[in-house]
Amino acid sequence: MKKIVVTGGLGFIGSNLIKLLLSKNYYVINIDKVSYSSNFYNVKEFKGSKKYKFVKADLNNKSKILKVLNKYRPQALLNLAAETHVDRSIDGPEIFIKNNILAIFNLLQTFRKHILKNNNCKLIHISTDEVYGDVLYGRSKENDAYKPSSPYAASKASSDHLVYSYIRTYKLPAIITNCSNNYGPRQHPEKLIPKLIYNILNNKSLPIYGKGINSREWIYVDDHCEALIRVLRKGKIGNFYNIGSNLNLNNLEICRNLIKIAKNRIKLGKNVKIKFVKDRPGHDLRYALDSSKIIKNLKWKPKVSVLKGLEKTFNWYLENPDYYLKLKKIDITKRLGNKFR
């Protein structure tokens, strides 16, 4: 049985990826340091699986990470451990430097040592479309210049550059992926879609930044995870792969679609109304990826439409109210990203 290490596996994408890997008969070692966005509810359904192992560890703890890698000798390490919320990076960028840059440096150093004993292992570093910055026209390709706008995006861009430097300098067997905006089950409600769903379910207003015209390319998390497994199996070492749905919706469109979906499932409270709030500082207007490389070379394509994905996502939160019990309420409700206004 092939073994895979997933870092950040108590989080949103990581836990969904683990679920998919287990269904494909991989043995998965989940390394997570357990931060505010980690949620053991995300892994409860496979907690007792004989193919699953959880290890609490920080990527900055090089000796512990090396011990885990040497013990299990995985086929690959998929790195999803990261600070991910733009608003948090605006309020406090230091933790993003520590966990998105320094931690990746330490992981790379550890991985270099590990492959001396296990040269069949490869690293897949998962990143974001935000590294490309505003894309007012067209779509970002893998060889386009990085123009990050937020401390979060800059920290992810830095980590991408570090990984690629180790590929070029040390011949590290690694691949980098950049994905568009994910949504789906198990996502922390500090992010737009689960925040809106939480507020709908709790009869609260629906906050939309600025005029709601900021556009994102939305991809259902299962489609992203399928793409990552395709990269794991078929991806070429040293390459970048963009992963997107090729479909953009702005925040206002997302909100209005969720209201329509909710009306078919529950009775809306009187406070469930769109509320425009002060915009995020430096808010990028549009992200969009050109994913033709992975579609052509690795024969992957997204399967879930945005409307179907939104329905599946709303239903999951509606049917899993205990998910919220594992989170601090302040992390769900507090407005971030405006500390320095």
Q: What is the set of active-site residues?
A: 129-130, 152
Nearest 5 degrees, angle CA 222-CA 330-CA 40?
40
Give the residue among 16, 9, 2 at the shortest CA–CA distance from 185.
16
Is 8 within 8 Å of 55 (Cβ atoms)? Answer: no
Q: For residue 90, what are the contacts with CB-CB under 8 A and spacing of at least 6?
A: 150, 151, 280, 281, 282, 336, 337, 338, 339, 340
Is 123 within 8 Å of 7 (Cβ atoms)? Answer: no
Helices (H) and strands (E) in the chain, counts: 12, 12
Nearest 5 degrees, angle CA 293-CA 296-CA 302?
85
Local structure of 58: helix, strand or coil: coil
Question: Could you tell me the two tokens for 170?
Answer: 């040390």
Question: Could you tell me the two tokens for 311?
Answer: 């329905």
